[in-house]
Amino acid sequence: MSCRSSRSRVRGFSLVELMVALVLGLIIVGGVISIFLSNQQAARANEGLARLQENARVAFELMARDVRQAGGNLCGATVTANVLNNAAATWWADWDGGVIRGYDETQDTVGIVPFGLGVGQRVAGTHAVAVLSGGMFNGFVVTGHNPTTHVFSLNTPNHDLAAGDVVMVCDGASAAIAQLSAVSGAPIGSLTHAQAGTLNTTTDLGFPLGSPKTFQPGGMVSRYTANFWYVGHNPRGGTSLYRMNRTGVPEEVAESVTGMQAQFLLRNQTSGNLGNDWVTASAVAAWDNAAADLVVAVRLTLDLETTNRVGTDQQPLRRQLFHVVNLRNRPAP
């Protein structure tokens, strides 16, 4: 009797119990999947935001350093003679035309980088900035200058300059921009700036242009730099911040940059008064170094967008960041 009674009480799960268990299991699995997907989405968004911030940091770091040094040289000289041949005809050589020049969205830069859809071409509706400087880094000390043979002697043979390079040479009194016609590395470094064909208009490097000049020992020679900053199309179908130097080869600096705006603060050289507000490039009357109102600060604004749709609305993350840069090498009014 007892055995039959015990066996009669042993039974499996009913259909209702199985269905309830299945539903509870699905709810738990669904919750786990939901948490996983939510965490994955948050991770992707955080990664995308981190990439944007890193791209912005790199872009502002490099561009701001370049803008800050516009018009500068390693000696702090305030006047510069530019002896490059036909300098006014080329954006990168036109020192007297302005060491910093802006271009707003209505100003095409056909002679530099035109608007277009090709790789490296400028994105329509974006601003651009051209910056010229005396190469504030990696200079070499001048130990002697012979204006008759047009040769500079350096303190080291271990320089990286070559014939054809454009250099800025300076001492405490003045600076000069010239193209090298010959270079030697032994026993000491020597640089020749002789007039030769399409190189220099004169061998006299004094200021005003054409004046004789002997640079003093202790002066510096550095590679002249000219950079054009703009937003261009990259080879991956997106847009990036680009920099182009005098070689004409665009260099991608930071991806995910979709737009750039540049605004300028002016100072009147007679009164010393600052402008009332930031202005765009089209509102600057003159960029040349003798202009009545000189640019003394630049406000750079970058628009950035992730390459993937990692936002909560399944759209790319977008950020707009700005950075203000003061020009260090503007003469006092």
What was the pLDDT predicted at 159?
86
Question: What is the three-class DSSP state of 188?
Answer: coil
For residues 324 and 125, give the distance between their C-alpha atoms in angstroms, rounded to a whole number: 21
Question: Per-residue pLDDT averaged across 82-99, rounded?
Answer: 94
The model's pLDDT over 250-278, given as tens digits with 9 standing for 90+, comes to 999 999 999 999 999 999 999 999 999 99
What was the pLDDT predicted at 192?
87
Q: Looking at the predicted structure, is the pLDDT value of residue 198 above 80?
A: no
Question: Per-residue pLDDT averaged across 110-136, rounded?
Answer: 94
- Taking alpha carbons only, the member of 71, 26, 44 closest to residue 328 is 71
Side-chain half-sphere CA neighbours of 169 within 13 A = 34
User: Residue 119 corresponds to which tokens in the numbers above?
Assistant: 């790789």
At position 192, the amino acid (one-letter code) is T
The secondary structure of 156-187 as a DSSP string is: -S-----TT-EEEEE-SS-EEEEE-SEEE-SS
Per the prediction, the chain carries an average pLDDT of 89
For residues 26 and 14, give the distance between their C-alpha atoms in angstroms, rounded to a whole number: 18
Specify the pTM.
0.86
Phi, psi of 186 (to 5 degrees): -145, 150
What was the pLDDT predicted at 9?
59
User: Residue 99 corresponds to which tokens in the numbers above?
Assistant: 């060491």
